[in-house]
Amino acid sequence: MSDQAIYELDTVVALLQAKEYARLLEYVRKSAECGVSEAECELGNIYFCGQGVPADPVEAERWLTKAALQNNPVAWNNLGTLYSSYDAQKSKQWYKRAVELGFMSAAHLAK
């Protein structure tokens, strides 16, 4: 992994708390573009929630799917949330996958 792909959760949390969304987007995007699943997941969340960017469910789905395909359980959970408003069956399927990967917080949603 190159220096550009360093991804530290503490940095992400600090940028979120400071509401420095432009810096957050730049920081997360570098790692996401290098294939770091945690960064891909966070970038999906940024687009899902509209943190410093217009909310964009299509872009959110794109980045969350990239992370999910690397077996990131949080990404599967977040895809479940993304789908929950318009495809209950798919939403449940994604929650189940999150649980299979150890994200037990989604267990009640996977039923």
Task: Using pLDDT thresholds of 50, 70 and 90, give the confidence band for residue 97.
Answer: very high
pLDDT of residue 2 exceeding 50: no
Q: How far apart are CA 60 and CA 62, in angstroms?
A: 5
Domain 7-109 of CATH type 1.25.40.10:
yes
* Residue range 32-65, pLDDT digits in tens: 999 999 999 999 999 999 999 999 999 999 999 9
Q: How far apart are CA 111 and CA 17, in angstroms?
A: 34
Mean confidence (pLDDT) of the chain: 94
Number of CB atoms found within 10 A of residue 107's CB: 12
Token digits for 93? 């399927």
